[in-house]
Amino acid sequence: MNISISLASKKTRHAVLKPSSNPPIIFTPGEKIRDQAGFMRGHGTYVSEGSLKATVAGVEQNINKLVTVSPLRCRYNGEIGDVVIGRITELVHKRWKVDINARLDAVLLLTSIQLPGGELRRRGMEDEQSMRSYLSEGDLISAEVHSVFADGSLSLHMRSLKYGKLGQGVLVKVQSNLIKRSKNHFHNLSAGVSVILGNNGYIWIEPTNDNKDPVGFEVDLQQVVEIGDRQTISRVRNVVLALSYYKMLIYDTSIQYALEESNKYTVSDLLTAEACYDIVNLTRHRLQAMDE
């Protein structure tokens, strides 16, 4: 077992990256944001003594005259069309309860899944009795948000062939606000692994299979993953956690750049603070150069 020891004076200041030219202003609960005159109160604010004040610790965001405060940390608030990754927690009457890192468990109705083989028909008593053969407690799934209920809970669906039960891979949990919203959340990286970036902060990493059939309910959990694929998955996992630690947006380009910069380190070296700082700093510079 290798142990790395260094003096405190020689350690990298890895708490934050180099400050940008316009760092955001973080408001604490009860702190005055601005005078209310001419502005409307939005989420995360309240009115007191003619001033708008923050109710949560976060960053001010303005939409015309509407003032809101986006919290630094919060539970996932889903929107219709979001791609999510969840874990089955319970089977109830004609539906599954799914943990998606939200305030309330989401609901996946029996009528919101595509039956094995793509068969289109009404769901009967036999389908309800065989629900556990499709999905059981503890299974990981990828799905899409279909609707939002009045209490804020979400209804999911898996009617597309790209959604379904997940097999061999690694689940990584990050803050949901670090996932960049895009049209596509399913990506094949050049390293030979595939990632699903859930809008709820759950990221799934698995080996890329060019001959893979559409995702369904038939998953071979006994299949042996090659050692090379396991090392690549571990590298991607460590890179994603490094981006999350430094609060960088996580999307296909940032992961790919960070993965390329990590090639000079071993997989175990990516667990050290100095290596994470170096990789994330180089990735940030590449992203900034691309935007300029």
pLDDT value at residue 96: 92
pLDDT value at residue 164: 87
Identify the band that residue 45 occupies on the pLDDT scale cut at 50, 70 and 90. Answer: very high
pLDDT value at residue 82: 93
Q: Which domains does the chain have, with CATH numbers?
A: 24-71 (2.40.50.100)
pLDDT digits 0-9 by tens, 132-180? 888 889 999 999 999 999 888 999 998 888 898 898 899 999 999 899 9
Picking from 66, 119, 130, the residue whose alpha carbon sits closest to that of residue 94 is: 130
pLDDT digits 0-9 by tens, 87-103? 999 998 889 999 999 99
pLDDT value at residue 213: 54
Identify the band that residue 15 occupies on the pLDDT scale cut at 50, 70 and 90. Answer: very low
Kindly state the average pLDDT of the residues 204-220: 70
Kindly state the average pLDDT of the residues 108-116: 82
Q: What is the pTM of this model?
A: 0.81
DSSP 109: E
pLDDT: is 24 or 57 the higher one? 57
Exposed e or buried b per residue across 71-106, where buried means at least 16 C-beta atoms within 10 angstroms of its C-beta: eeeeebbbeeebbbbbbbeebeeebbbbbbbbeebb
State how far the alpha carbon of 82 is from the alpha carbons of 95, 98, 100, 180, in Å.
Answer: 20, 15, 11, 11
If you average pLDDT over every residue of the chain, what do you get?
85
Picking from 220, 230, 282, 231, the residue whose alpha carbon sits closest to that of residue 256 is: 282
Would you say residue 112 has pLDDT above 70?
yes
Would you say residue 240 has pLDDT above 90?
yes
pLDDT value at residue 252: 92
pLDDT value at residue 6: 62
Would you say residue 185 has pLDDT above 90?
yes
Strand locations in the chain (E): 26-27, 32-35, 40-41, 45-48, 51-54, 58-63, 66-71, 83-92, 95-99, 106-113, 140-148, 154-158, 164-165, 170-173, 186-188, 193-197, 202-207
pLDDT digits 0-9 by tens, 58-83? 888 888 889 988 887 788 888 899 99
